[in-house]
Amino acid sequence: MFHKNKDFIVRKSVLNRLLLVCFVVFVFMGCQFSDSKKEISEIPVAIEWVRFEQKFYRSSPQELPALKKDFPYFFPSQYSDEIWEQRLVDSLQLELFDQINKVFLSIDSLQAQAKSLFQHIKYYFPETNIPKIITVVSDVDYHNKIIDADSLLLVSIDTYLGKDNHLYSGIPKYISANLNKEQIIPDMVSVLSKRYISSPQDRTLLSQMIFRGKQLYLKDLFLPSTINHLKIGYSQKQLSWVQENEAHIWRFFVEQKLLFSSNTNQIYRFIDPAPFTKFYLDIDQESPGRVGQWLGWMIVRSFAQNNDVSLPELLAMPANELFQKSKYKPSRK
């Protein structure tokens, strides 16, 4: 009995020490996080926003020459002024403009989010030049919602009016699901990330997965307060599905020997936007599209957790090397 009590006292003492160590580590890490968060928030960032669609659609034909002089890149010389004058009175264009004004009466919140984004970018990449952000109307060109033109970042604001907007009625649901204003900042990261990530070095599915995974990992760093499902453009239900089925998805990729396939059809099946992923199984209709992107994200996250390398090294690392060092192995649930 005595020895048992003594053992109990020893175990309790060890446990208390462990708890104390954990507490100290927790406090230390919390202080580090707090310090870095404060440091990021103090990074000076000045972003020039121009709402070109407001300037254009509120102009008269007589004011077009001055507008063309200020924004020559929006007025190709091969088009006559008559084209622009017609747009000013076109009923569809005016409906788009009306919907924009309803959804984006104010962009104060968007500007604050963009400032935070570029503060985070400058924290990791201090040499980054901040582009001028210009909102435009693109006739709902959802293939090019945001364009990085070096010193300019063009945002097609008419592609973010809300998934249920009546102007999107002819667009497939899996596309319109991400035509929401909450996706503007995550979409900015997707576009800007190409400044920092090395292009895929081969045509394999793994390379495409890791490339997209790196883009999503940058969203973890640049948008730490953004909900995960918004980072990848899933609904919460879709994100829950891939999380719950991660081990099964991974086993499918391994058993089907997909990772090193250079068949372009595999890119379409697992990387490109789609209403669901074509596993060619009964579960297809339950799955979201782009599971290859999501798996790539999990692999890159695993690599970051298991390797002490700088962010530029991670982003430049070839896909196969990153994958081998990631020690990625999803657990069964």
Distance CA 201, CA 220 (A): 24
pLDDT for the residue 35: 62
What's the mean pLDDT when you consider all of the chain? 90
- 8 Å CB contact between 197 and 214: yes
Which of 131, 158, 174 marks a domain boundary? 174
pLDDT tops 80 at residue 93: yes
pLDDT digits (tens, 9 = 90+) for 205-264: 999 999 999 999 999 999 999 999 999 999 999 999 999 999 999 999 999 999 999 999
Pair (159, 107) in one structural domain: yes
Decide if 262 contacts 202 (C-beta within 8 A): yes
Counts for the chain of helices (H) and strands (E), in that order? 16, 4
Query: Of 192, 186, 93, whose CA–CA distance to 140 is shortest?
Result: 93
Domain that holds residue 147: 49-174
**Beta bridge partner(s), residue 156:** 136
Domain count, the chain: 2
pLDDT of 322 > 50? The answer is yes
At a CB cut-off of 8 Å and minimum separation 6, what does 4 contact? none
CA–CA distance, 183 with 191 (Å, rounded to integer): 12
Give pLDDT tens digits for 106-155: 999 999 999 999 999 999 999 999 999 999 999 999 999 999 999 999 99
Pairwise pLDDT comparison (22 vs 48), residue with the higher score: 48
Question: Do residues 55 and 170 share a domain?
Answer: yes
User: What is the structure's pLDDT at 22?
Assistant: 40
Last residue of a domain, one of 158, 174, 190: 174
Spatial strand order in the sheet of 146-149: 49-51, 132-136, 152-156, 146-149
Asked if residue 186 belongs to a domain, the reply is: no
2 within a domain of the structure (yes/no):
no
Percent of the chain surpassing pLDDT 70: 89
